Structure 1
Amino acid sequence: MSLAIRNQIDVTVSLAGDAIAAVEILPRARPPLGRLFAGKPPASLLNVLPRIFSLCAAAHQVAFLSAIEAARGEGISLATRQHRIAMVVAERLAELLRGLFVGHFPLDATSAAAIRALMQGVSALLSSAEPSCGQVRREAIARVAIALAALGITNEEGAPRLGTPLALRVAALEEDALNPTPMQHSFLSVADDRDVIERLVDDAGFCRCPDLEGRIPETGAWARQMMRLQITLGRSGPAERLKARIAEIARLRAWLRLGARVETAEHGIVESYRLGPGRGAAAVECARGRLYHAVELDRQRQMSRFEVIAPTEWNFHARGPLVRSLQGAVLAAKPRGQRAVRAMVASFDPCVGFTLNFREIGDA
């Protein structure tokens, strides 16, 4: 978010020998959205949102529009809903791919041509989100499929073909450089929307430090896979998170290829909630997880309140999923183990940059 005072997350890992004794997170600073937009007409924000939220801009626009419509008591047509869901899915696909290759293959010359072709196809897909661009979208989806096949993703399960750079990367991450403590996992879903929104509109500090009666669930691609498989206990290392990302890329591409129909869309991908006259909220399932917007309009139908809670606030909470995943884990030899910790932090895919520091308990 370009207006933030300090737009990064600082993670400090304290080591007691080879074990992680503590994880401290200093969150990013957030811009005062409510004060910035108070008294402005909602329409004036639509062009501003992509500059504030440079990542997942379409998801933020859909969430904002849906919340405004809920506040006004307005409905939308089936065609508009389908268009918005297709926009969110295309953007989620683009963001998952961007994170996949920027995070894992920035210097992989052997895959460079396929990656360029893939990103060109995704760019064309994003620009073809208008309902009138059906043929352009179909051509873009075909280009994406060809590029994914060149990178080793050839089926809807998303398992990379043996011997491809993706398969080798997964195998490297599966090495036991980091042994996390087994634990039960909790995931943020559409079933939590009412509770989250109620807290978001009642508590001004909730968006910075969310907490559902002591529960801080995880959200994102791996969480979506675990919910789909109805699993709450399982391996949660960087390899599992990378495999979940790859599998979701394959599923999203298949959904777009099959016509991007509302009736086959993921449950809860875009939801809106009317909270009373002039008050509304929306939830959108974007690449990094569940995004919430809540708005309030004054009597002149201008903005009087605007609250946002992004997926990063859950995953990088001081008592959240990343901290729980690392706390008590045992590292292999220090340099290799520290690289594994960095891979774990990166696998949670924050929407801003992060720093990672290590210190021995004896240093304090």
Structure 2
Amino acid sequence: MSAPLQLVATLKAGRVVGVHAENIRPLAAQVLVGKSVDEAAALAPAIFSLCGVAQGVGVRAASAVAGGGDFVMTAAIERALSLEAIKLHLWRLMLDWPVLFGRAPERQRFAFVLKRIDQVTDERSAYEAGGSVLDLVARELLAGFMNSLREPRNLSEFADACRRSGSIGDALARLIEAGASDPIAHPVPLLAPLPASVFADALPGGWPDADYCRAPHLSGDVYETGPLARHVNNPLVARLVIHRHRIAARLFARVVELSDCASRLRHPLPGDMPALVDVAPLPGGGALARIETARGVLLHALRLDGDTVADYAIVAPTEWNFRPGGVFEQEGAGWAAPDVAYAEWRLRALALALDPCVQYAVSVTEEAAADA
């Protein structure tokens, strides 16, 4: 069975061109139509299991407002969302990124941390688990920066600090040393955390139809969502962006966000961080919930007929980043590659940095040079 997300490109005269992301996964939200709210809230996490907590919260939040009530963000909801995001971030950081650089995945370490996180049952255990994750970030993922008396002055020092920070640091250093990864003069803008009302007001026709769900935008403009968009103002992340190392910046931003998630476990509902969830009414009836997930912004649009779901639409982060004309297609093209193997490796790095929530396959075809 082929992967639902096919990422294809052509290598022509030493440059990668014709990058295309074909996303054939079905729009499964319609399965929720005709179900009761309780049934939909139970079914959504089963359909979208990778971010099941966020999907279930989306159903509950949107249905509360669509039914004429209010959605109240609680510490318990934030804790559940933060725990899910931590697991997804660690999965990528410990299992997937090392493999891309020929290293063994850190399965035992991942299992140990995961067991610690799965023991969270209340505020105290959440506080302790948050401390364990912060300790992991400080001692391993960012050790080279934590142990330095000053920030790196240049990219060479940045790479040296990364290399003293375990397998993820090694990946960051090698990404930096591979050269700038942003070949376009005007990169796709980053989707900063925005309230649900902004998305609701900008929806064409007041509802995310199938075309919008496949290729979301904000008032006609294409955006990138995810950890980089949320943490581009972090000084170290910004340093990488300024030097056009956006793949490395996304990886670094994921580590920064891991710390934020851990902080939310220890100090819930912080006033100095954007809310993870909010809801806005839709002009034609119903409601739109916005949930910040590990991969980016998730939108749930719902209309009710009594307690029954009359219409449902979900806009996932993958559709923002891998839409036609989106950040993967734009940033993946226009750079030099010595051979197909390198082109495929770099496109895999870009895809992993953008983190689709479905299986994907990368393929590059070399076009024969024209006869002189």
Q: Residue 71 of structure 1 contacts residue 278 of structure 1 at CA under 8 Å; is this kept in 2? A: yes
Task: Please state whether the residue corresponding to 1:206 is helix, strand or coil.
Answer: helix
> Given the superposition, is the C-alpha separation of residues 362 and 37 from structure 1 closer, same or farther in structure 2, using an over 3 Å criterion?
same
One of 237, 255, 262 as aligned partner of 1:246: 255
Task: Please state whether the residue corresponding to 1:303 is helix, strand or coil.
Answer: strand
For 1:210, the equivalent position in structure 2 comes to: 216
How far has the Cα of 1:59 moved from its partner? 1.1
> Given the superposition, is the C-alpha separation of residues 178 and 11 from structure 1 closer, same or farther in structure 2, using an over 3 Å criterion?
farther
Corresponding letter in the other structure for 1:361:
E
For 1:19, the equivalent position in structure 2 comes to: 15
How far has the Cα of 1:357 moved from its partner? 0.9
One of 14, 24, 38 as aligned partner of 2:33: 38
Q: Do structure 1's residue 289 and structure 2's residue 282 form an aligned pair?
A: no
One of 89, 92, 95 as aligned partner of 2:88: 95
For 2:156, the equivalent position in structure 1 comes to: none
How far has the Cα of 1:211 moved from its partner? 3.4
> Given the superposition, is the C-alpha separation of residues 146 and 74 from structure 1 closer, same or farther in structure 2, using an over 3 Å criterion?
same
Deviation by residue 1:248-287 (Cα, 9 ceiling, x = unmatched): 1123223323x213424x3242110122685111001101
How far has the Cα of 1:219 moved from its partner? 0.2
One of 154, 175, 178 as aligned partner of 1:176: 178
Q: Do structure 1's residue 186 and structure 2's residue 189 form an aligned pair?
A: yes
> Given the superposition, is the C-alpha separation of residues 138 and 76 from structure 1 closer, same or farther in structure 2, using an over 3 Å criterion?
same
- RMSD across aligned C-alpha pairs, in angstroms? 3.1
Output the CA distance in 2 between the equivalents of 1:234 and 1:175: 12
Q: Do structure 1's residue 351 and structure 2's residue 357 form an aligned pair?
A: yes
Output the CA distance in 2 between the equivalents of 1:110 and 1:233: 30
Corresponding letter in the other structure for 1:313:
E
Q: Do structure 1's residue 62 and structure 2's residue 71 form an aligned pair?
A: no
Output the CA distance in 1 between the equivalents of 2:311 and 2:250: 36
**Which stretch of the first structure deviates more once superposed, 354-363 or 343-352?**
354-363
Task: Please state whether the residue corresponding to 2:232 is helix, strand or coil.
Answer: helix
Output the CA distance in 1 between the equivalents of 2:131 and 2:28: 42
Output the CA distance in 1 between the equivalents of 2:229 and 2:345: 23
Deviation by residue 1:206-233 (Cα, 9 ceiling, x = unmatched): 1112234542100001121226679786
Output the CA distance in 2 between the equivalents of 1:100 and 1:37: 33
Task: Please state whether the residue corresponding to 2:291 is helix, strand or coil.
Answer: strand
Deviation by residue 1:4-60 (Cα, 9 ceiling, x = unmatched): x976200111121221121112113214432x2332211111221111011111111
For 2:140, the equivalent position in structure 1 comes to: 151
Task: Please state whether the residue corresponding to 1:85 is helix, strand or coil.
Answer: helix
For 1:280, the equivalent position in structure 2 comes to: 287
> Given the superposition, is the C-alpha separation of residues 108 and 124 from structure 1 closer, same or farther in structure 2, using an over 3 Å criterion?
farther
How far has the Cα of 1:121 moved from its partner? 2.1
Corresponding letter in the other structure for 2:289:
A
Corresponding letter in the other structure for 1:263:
G
Task: Please state whether the residue corresponding to 1:296 is helix, strand or coil.
Answer: strand
TM-score, length-normalised on structure 1?
Answer: 0.84
Task: Please state whether the residue corresponding to 1:73 is helix, strand or coil.
Answer: coil
Corresponding letter in the other structure for 1:170:
L
> Given the superposition, is the C-alpha separation of residues 329 and 195 from structure 1 closer, same or farther in structure 2, using an over 3 Å criterion?
farther
How far has the Cα of 1:139 moved from its partner? 2.7
**Which stretch of the first structure deviates more once superposed, 40-49 or 81-90?**
81-90
For 2:154, the equivalent position in structure 1 comes to: none
One of 165, 168, 172 as aligned partner of 1:166: 168
> Given the superposition, is the C-alpha separation of residues 338 and 290 from structure 1 closer, same or farther in structure 2, using an over 3 Å criterion?
same
Output the CA distance in 2 between the equivalents of 1:303 and 1:198: 21
Output the CA distance in 2 between the equivalents of 1:12 and 1:25: 7
> Given the superposition, is the C-alpha separation of residues 254 and 22 from structure 1 closer, same or farther in structure 2, using an over 3 Å criterion?
same
How far has the Cα of 1:178 moved from its partner? 6.6
Task: Please state whether the residue corresponding to 1:356 is helix, strand or coil.
Answer: strand
Output the CA distance in 1 between the equivalents of 2:3 and 2:341: 28
Runs of 5+ consecutive residues of structure 1 not aligned to the other structure:
none
How far has the Cα of 1:351 moved from its partner? 0.1
TM-score, length-normalised on structure 2?
Answer: 0.82
How far has the Cα of 1:118 moved from its partner? 1.8
Output the CA distance in 2 between the equivalents of 1:328 and 1:64: 41
Task: Please state whether the residue corresponding to 1:50 is helix, strand or coil.
Answer: helix
Output the CA distance in 1 between the equivalents of 2:55 and 2:63: 12
Corresponding letter in the other structure for 2:46:
R
Q: Residue 9 of structure 2 contacts residue 16 of structure 2 at CA under 8 Å; is this kept in 1? A: yes
How far has the Cα of 1:112 moved from its partner? 4.8
Output the CA distance in 2 between the equivalents of 1:202 and 1:311: 14
Q: Residue 278 of structure 1 contacts residue 301 of structure 1 at CA under 8 Å; is this kept in 2? A: no
Identity of aligned residues (%): 24
> Given the superposition, is the C-alpha separation of residues 85 and 355 from structure 1 closer, same or farther in structure 2, using an over 3 Å criterion?
same
Q: Residue 121 of structure 1 contacts residue 141 of structure 1 at CA under 8 Å; is this kept in 2? A: no
Number of residue pairs aligned between Structure 1 and Structure 2: 347
**Which stretch of the first structure deviates more once superposed, 21-30 or 234-243?**
234-243
Q: Residue 227 of structure 2 contacts residue 254 of structure 2 at CA under 8 Å; is this kept in 1? A: yes
